[in-house]
Structure 1
Amino acid sequence: MDGAGIHVFRDDEEIRKGEVIKGELERAIKNSTIFMPIFSKNYAFSPWCLRELAFRLDCLRNRDDNTMILLIFFDVDPDDVKLKTGLYHDAFQKHEQKFGSNLVQQWKEALMEVAHIKGWDLKDTGQGELIRSIVAEVLIKLNKREKILPDHLVGIQDRVEVVMHLLDEGSPDVRYLVIHGMGGIGKTTLAKVVFNQIYSRFNGCSFLSGVREAIKDGKIIQLQKQLLSEIFDSKPVEIFDSDAGINHIKWRFCHKKVLIVLDDIDEWAQLSMLAAKGDWFGSGSRIIITTRDTNNLAIEEYKVYQMTELHYHHALQLFSKHAFKMDSPPHDYDDISCDITHMTGGLPLALEVIGCSLYRKRKPIWKETLKKLQSAPHQHIFDILKISVEMLSEEQREIFLDIASFYVGEERIYPYYMWKALDFYPKIEINNLIGMSLIKIDDHDRLLMHNLLRDLGREIVR
């Protein structure tokens, strides 16, 4: 293991003090990614080995734990460890005399539970080749799939809990979840957080980023190869056209419990080449989709989570983390920080970009930035948000720009007749704009728009 660059912790007699697992040994067991008990003929004679095994299983049962257990049967059979033979009989008799029957029964149950996990059998065989196989397997297991998250995550835990509830991991059905919201609102970040929390509980996982752009650039076959490669932890298979890729996915995933994230999709055609139907995947599979636009996804049977802007106190906290590296602004920057936070409308991307640009800047620059925000959005945010507007048809674009220029906060009925007279089919197009998270309609039938989108629309007109 050491020779392969794997950091290994081995307990020994020097750190075994007393009869309770604590200190360095407890930290090592709790923090290890892989726990590898080696069952030998004398394993059960060691109360410490039995304590460690029971402790590790107890940790797995009582908390959200991503630890894997890999077993090695060293000159014993699995049936010996399941206590179906008398190999460990004498050992447990001695333990009962010293520790009592209740504790020993816990140790027995731990042995019988863990012995059902498939492991390596080194009984009466050469060890060299098997050791190489074990090291190779451990290297694969340690190939972590965690997605890199922003340094500052604020106000996301409640969102994660809602998404986890919608995913309902315990349900055996194949479930699709759509995370929907405007550009820059944090859909991808939310998907990454959820992915990191649950990916280890699936037989295979894959996170495909920027699907819309990749397919637009003719890279669907590369996406299919990546999906197959990541799910099976293997080299990419040879695929010569997208139909062959679809057949590979359907054939190889149909009995496999998988977690797949398809980031940034806006058309059914994109989804159909990667994860069109639930029967492509094994029981318990979960497919998470992030999108700006739900109009063309045919998601009637999917669970949908609508992303909303950050609450003001979370928005100010996120801005402060980027602008000051603190949870709140200093007293002399409090008012201007509040003004800038209000200007962003709770959009995480805006808070991050503007906050970072103001870090360690003098007060006059802050005031100048506030003036610019009042007249036009920050250029980077502008470019991100502009993607959604560029996808609009001519009629949708005109309606969007009209609302941004004149009708934010106004009742829909007044401009409706104007758009109808122009043959813009406003009933359909307004629903499309809502589906793309570019506008909202409140309970009083008033047209609403995110402040940055309003500013973007006015800047386009200007």
Structure 2
Amino acid sequence: MVGAGILVFRDSESLHVGEEIGAELLQAIENSKIYIPIFSANYASSCWCLRELAYMVKCTLKSNGHKEILPIFLDVEPADVKLKTNLYKQTLSKRQKTMCNEAKSWQKTLIVVGKIKGWNLKKDDSQVDLIQSVIEAVLVKLNVKYKNVTKHLVGVNDRVEAIIKMLDMESNDVKFLAIHGIGGVGKTTVTKVVFNRLSSRFQGCNFLSDVRESSERQGFIHLQKQLLSKFLDRRYVDQISEVDHGINMIKRVLHNKKVLIVLDDVDEIKQLKNLAEKGNWFGSSSRIIITTRYKSVLMIDGEATSEGPIKCANVLTYEVQEMEFHHALELFSRHAFGERLSTR
């Protein structure tokens, strides 16, 4: 899931100090959109697991449909979880003697979750297909839009990590990052990988490709409609009839949303002015990524002087350098021979 760009909080044994659920786990459950309890044969013997599950159900019920439970039945059947067999039923009966009220609550919780359609996995079954199925389901439910990138990328990981570090995802500030470099150096590819890694952390995201070409052929109003189409019903987006109207709608719709927006292949200042001129257009913790060949367009929230544009301090820049020789040789080998370069 982490590799697919999903932000995950994993319950681990290190959190199990005593029988009560700690504040860290409670906060993680409250902040999560999807819960994946894994029911094993011994699940009902853990008070910790049962309290955790009960809190998941509580948060789901009060979320008005914004949270969801996706259970995995590991070598057990939904009937076991619904207490139609003795597997969990006997364990809970013993609990009732010492913790009557809480045990009754756990019974109701298990029955509720046992009715939810999930995944069944026997111990001898392969986990590969299950893992892929779970990841795909989670991505769909998170409404994460992923960009296709070439398989077996070469020399990208270090660049991606450096860019993510610059974006400082823990900061509440709105940050602009301009990724620049010569044509064909890999700006868009690196940005797509970053977008895929981070998009699940935002309330909404949009990747506007080929801004330069779209602005020339279809104009700024089209681009503004494209930008808002991921955040607003189409009937309202289609009401944009002039650029200023589009700017005002972008500010009105996005000023309180945590968003990730990519403006790919920008070549003029006015493109930024009409799509993402100032940080206060967007909600706290938003990230705006711009790819461009020309550093001269990076005047955002600044002023022009006789010496040229002044770049605002909150606009970060990352230059994509040409590929190092050993990476270039690796890439050549993949394309020329269909295999990795081997050294002797």
TM tier relative to shorter chain: 0.5 to 0.7
Which residue of the partner structure matches residue 244 of structure 2? 243
Alpha-carbon distance in structure 2 between the residues aligned to 1:155 and 1:321:
13
Contact conserved, 1:225 with 1:236, CA < 8 A, in 2? no
Alpha-carbon distance in structure 1 between the residues aligned to 2:171 and 2:97:
41
Question: CA deviation digits over 1:387-426, x for unaligned, max 9?
Answer: xxxxxxxxxxxxxxxxxxxxxxxxxxxxxxxxxxxxxxxx
Which residue of the partner structure matches residue 168 of structure 2? 168
1:70 aligns with 2:68: yes
Write the mapping of 1:285-300 to structure 2, written as runs, cut at 5 A.
Answer: 285-298=286-299, 299-300=311-312
CA 1:160–1:330 in 2, change beyond 3 Å: closer, same or farther?
Answer: closer
Alpha-carbon distance in structure 2 between the residues aligned to 1:198 and 1:178:
16
Structure ranking higher in helix proportion:
1
Which residue of the partner structure matches residue 334 of structure 2? 321
**Could you tell me how far 1:197 is from its partner in structure 2?**
0.4
- Give the residue type in structure 2 aligned to 1:316: L
**Could you tell me how far 1:237 is from its partner in structure 2?**
1.6
Alpha-carbon distance in structure 1 between the residues aligned to 2:172 and 2:201:
13
Higher mean C-alpha deviation, range 257-266 or range 229-238: 229-238
Which residue of the partner structure matches residue 271 of structure 1? 272
Write the mapping of 1:11-410 to structure 2, written as runs, cut at 5 A.
Answer: 34-35=34-35, 46=44, 51=49, 69-70=67-68, 94=95, 141=141, 143-232=143-232, 237-238=237-238, 239-298=240-299, 299-301=311-313, 302-328=315-341
SS at match of 1:230: coil
Contact conserved, 1:264 with 1:290, CA < 8 A, in 2? yes
Task: Give the structure-2-normalised TM-score.
Answer: 0.58
Structure ranking higher in strand proportion:
2
Task: Give the structure-1-normalised TM-score.
Answer: 0.44
Contact conserved, 2:203 with 2:257, CA < 8 A, in 1? yes
Question: CA deviation digits over 1:26-66, x for unaligned, max 9?
Answer: xxxxxxx95477xxxxxxx95589749959x9xxxxxxxxx
Alpha-carbon distance in structure 2 between the residues aligned to 1:289 and 1:182:
14
- Give the residue type in structure 2 aligned to 1:264: D
Alpha-carbon distance in structure 2 between the residues aligned to 1:233 and 1:324:
48
SS at match of 2:218: coil
Q: Which runs of 5+ in 1 are unaligned?
A: 1-32, 38-44, 58-67, 73-90, 99-103, 112-137, 332-462
CA 1:146–1:95 in 2, change beyond 3 Å: closer, same or farther?
Answer: farther
Contact conserved, 2:175 with 2:279, CA < 8 A, in 1? yes
Contact conserved, 2:44 with 2:50, CA < 8 A, in 1? no
Question: CA deviation digits over 1:68-125, x for unaligned, max 9?
Answer: 95259xxxxxxxxxxxxxxxxxx69918979xxxxx9xxx9xx9xxxxxxxxxxxxxx
- Give the residue type in structure 1 aligned to 2:199: Y
Alpha-carbon distance in structure 1 between the residues aligned to 2:233 and 2:35:
21
Question: CA deviation digits over 1:233-269, x for unaligned, max 9?
Answer: 7666221111111110001111111000000002210
Aligned residues: 229
CA RMSD of the aligned region, Å? 3.8
Q: Which runs of 5+ in 2 are unaligned?
A: 1-32, 38-42, 56-65, 71-91, 110-137, 300-310
Alpha-carbon distance in structure 2 between the residues aligned to 1:305 and 1:244:
32
Contact conserved, 2:181 with 2:319, CA < 8 A, in 1? yes
CA 1:145–1:49 in 2, change beyond 3 Å: closer, same or farther?
Answer: farther
Task: For CA contacts below 8 A with separation 6 or more, give which structure has more relative contact order.
Answer: 2
Alpha-carbon distance in structure 2 between the residues aligned to 1:48 and 1:242:
59
Contact conserved, 2:144 with 2:199, CA < 8 A, in 1? no
Alpha-carbon distance in structure 1 between the residues aligned to 2:139 and 2:319:
38
Alpha-carbon distance in structure 2 between the residues aligned to 1:267 and 1:242:
16
CA 1:170–1:97 in 2, change beyond 3 Å: closer, same or farther?
Answer: same
Question: CA deviation digits over 1:118-137, x for unaligned, max 9?
Answer: xxxxxxxxxxxxxxxxxxxx
